[in-house]
Chain A
Amino acid sequence: MDDLLLPSVATILDQRDETPDTRTLQLRFRDGERQDRFAFRPGQFLELSVFGLGEAPFCLASSPTRRESLEVTVRRTGRVTDGLHALGPGNEIGLRGPCGNGFDLDAAAGHDLLFVAGGIGLPPLRGLIWNVLDDRDRFGRVTILYGARTPTDLVYKDELKIWAARDDVEFRVTVDRGEPGWTGTVGLVPVLFETVELRPARTLAYVCGPPIMIKFVIQDLLARGFAEERVISTLERTMQCGVGKCNHCCIGHLFVCRDGPVFTYRQIREMVE
Chain B
Amino acid sequence: MPPQDAVIIARADVPRWVAALCARAVVIAPTAGPLGDTVFSAIGSPGEILWDFENPLQPPKQFLLPQADPFVRIRRNNGHVTLEPVRDDGRRILFNVRNCDVSGFRYLQGVYARDLPDAAYARRADATALVSLACTRPCPLGFCVCCDAGPFLRAGFDLQLVPLRDDRLLVEIGSEKGRALLEGAGALFRAATPEDVAARETLEAAARRDFGTETCHFGSAMRRLSTRRVPQALWDAMGDWCLECGGCTHACPTCYCFSVSDRPCDGGWTRNRTWDSCQYEAFTLEASGHNPRQPKRSRMWRRFYHKASAQYYQRDGGVGCVGCGRCIKVCMGTTDMPAVVGAIRKGVWHG
Name 25 interchain pairs, CB-CB below 8 A, sorted by A. A2-B119, A3-B71, A3-B119, A4-B119, A5-B72, A8-B83, A51-B74, A51-B269, A81-B287, A92-B80, A92-B81, A237-B286, A238-B285, A238-B287, A240-B260, A243-B116, A244-B116, A246-B259, A248-B276, A250-B306, A252-B311, A253-B312, A253-B315, A258-B115, A273-B293
User: Is B83 touching A248 in the complex (CB atoms < 8 A)?
Assistant: no
Q: How far is the CB of A87 from chain B (nearest CB, A)?
A: 11
User: Is B81 touching A51 in the complex (CB atoms < 8 A)?
Assistant: yes
Q: How far is the CB of B189 from chain A (nearest CB, A)?
A: 35
Q: A51-B81, A246-B260 are in contact. Are A3 and B120 (CB under 8 A)?
A: yes
Query: How long is the Cα–Cα vector from A213 to B273 in the complex, in angstroms?
Result: 36
> Is B233 in contact with chain A by the CB < 8 A criterion?
no
> Is A78 in contact with chain B by the CB < 8 A criterion?
yes
User: Is B260 touching A54 in the complex (CB atoms < 8 A)?
Assistant: yes
- B residues neighboring A (CB under 8 Å): 71-72, 74, 76, 79-81, 83, 85, 87, 111-112, 115-120, 122, 228, 256-262, 264, 268-269, 271, 273, 276, 278, 283-288, 292-293, 298, 302, 305-306, 309, 311-312, 315
> Is A245 in contact with chain B by the CB < 8 A criterion?
yes
Q: Which of A51, A81, A245 contacts B262 (CB 8 A)?
A: A51
Contacts of B122 in A (CB 8 A): 1
User: Is B119 touching A9 in the complex (CB atoms < 8 A)?
Assistant: no
> Is A195 in contact with chain B by the CB < 8 A criterion?
no
Q: How far is the CB of B113 from chain A (nearest CB, A)?
A: 10
Contacts of B258 in A (CB 8 A): 240-241, 245-246
Contacts of A2 in B (CB 8 A): 119
User: Is A6 touching B257 in the complex (CB atoms < 8 A)?
Assistant: no
Query: How long is the Cα–Cα vector from A273 to B299 in the complex, in angstroms?
Result: 10
Q: A78-B287, A246-B258, A246-B260 are in contact. Are A4 and B83 (CB under 8 A)?
A: no
Q: Which residue of A lies closest to B111 (CB)?
A: A245
User: Is A1 touching B311 in the complex (CB atoms < 8 A)?
Assistant: no
Q: How far is the CB of B222 from chain A (nearest CB, A)?
A: 13
Query: How long is the Cα–Cα vector from A53 to B293 in the complex, in angstroms?
Result: 25
Q: A3-B120, A4-B119, A7-B83 are in contact. Are A253 and B309 (CB under 8 A)?
A: yes
Query: How long is the Cα–Cα vector from A10 to B218 in the complex, in angstroms?
Result: 48
Q: How far is the CB of A250 from chain B (nearest CB, A)?
A: 8
> Is A52 in contact with chain B by the CB < 8 A criterion?
yes
Query: How long is the Cα–Cα vector from A51 to B72 in the complex, in angstroms?
Result: 11
Query: How long is the Cα–Cα vector from A132 to B260 in the complex, in angstroms?
Result: 35
Q: A3-B120, A53-B262, A78-B287 are in contact. Are A273 and B85 (CB under 8 A)?
A: no
Q: Scoring A residues 227 to 252 as 1 if CB is less than 8 Å from chain B, else 0, what string do you get?
A: 00000000011101101111110111
Query: How long is the Cα–Cα vector from A77 to B286 in the complex, in angstroms?
Result: 10
Q: Scoring A residues 247 to 273 as 1 if CB is less than 8 Å from chain B, else 0, what string do you get?
A: 110111100001000000000000011
Contacts of A79 in B (CB 8 A): 287
Contacts of B119 in A (CB 8 A): 1-4
Query: How long is the Cα–Cα vector from A269 to B115 in the complex, in angstroms?
Result: 25
User: Is B117 touching A1 in the complex (CB atoms < 8 A)?
Assistant: yes
Q: How far is the CB of A50 from chain B (nearest CB, A)?
A: 9
> Is A71 in contact with chain B by the CB < 8 A criterion?
no
User: Is A55 touching B260 in the complex (CB atoms < 8 A)?
Assistant: yes
Q: Which residue of A lies closest to B122 (CB)?
A: A1
User: Is B257 touching A51 in the complex (CB atoms < 8 A)?
Assistant: no
Contacts of A51 in B (CB 8 A): 74, 76, 81, 262, 268-269
Q: Scoring A residues 2 to 22 as 1 if CB is less than 8 Å from chain B, else 0, what string do you get?
A: 111111110000000000000
Q: A51-B269, A253-B311 are in contact. Are A77 and B118 (CB under 8 A)?
A: no
Query: How long is the Cα–Cα vector from A240 to B292 in the complex, in angstroms?
Result: 16
Query: How long is the Cα–Cα vector from A247 to B261 in the complex, in angstroms?
Result: 15
Query: How long is the Cα–Cα vector from A122 to B208 in the complex, in angstroms?
Result: 60
- A residues neighboring B (CB under 8 Å): 1-9, 49, 51-56, 77-79, 81, 90-92, 94, 236-238, 240-241, 243-248, 250-253, 258, 272-273
Contacts of B306 in A (CB 8 A): 247, 250, 253
Q: A1-B119, A244-B116 are in contact. Are A6 and B71 (CB under 8 A)?
A: yes
Query: How long is the Cα–Cα vector from A55 to B273 in the complex, in angstroms?
Result: 12
Q: Lowest 7 A-B CB distances belong to which pairs? A: A78-B287, A253-B311, A1-B119, A77-B287, A247-B257, A92-B81, A240-B260
Query: How long is the Cα–Cα vector from A22 to B256 in the complex, in angstroms?
Result: 35
Contacts of B74 in A (CB 8 A): 51-52
User: Is A5 touching B261 in the complex (CB atoms < 8 A)?
Assistant: no
Q: A1-B122, A51-B269, A92-B81 are in contact. Are A245 and B315 (CB under 8 A)?
A: no
Contacts of B268 in A (CB 8 A): 51
Query: How long is the Cα–Cα vector from A110 to B172 in the complex, in angstroms?
Result: 61
User: Is B298 touching A273 in the complex (CB atoms < 8 A)?
Assistant: yes
Query: How long is the Cα–Cα vector from A243 to B116 in the complex, in angstroms?
Result: 7
Q: Which of A3, A246, A258 contacts B85 (CB 8 A)?
A: A3
Query: How long is the Cα–Cα vector from A237 to B278 in the complex, in angstroms?
Result: 14
Query: How long is the Cα–Cα vector from A252 to B305 in the complex, in angstroms?
Result: 8
Contacts of A248 in B (CB 8 A): 257, 259, 276, 283-284
Query: How long is the Cα–Cα vector from A53 to B261 in the complex, in angstroms?
Result: 8
User: Is A238 touching B311 in the complex (CB atoms < 8 A)?
Assistant: no
Q: Which of B79, B81, B116, B228 contacts A272 (CB 8 A)?
A: B228
Contacts of A236 in B (CB 8 A): 286
User: Is B72 touching A7 in the complex (CB atoms < 8 A)?
Assistant: yes
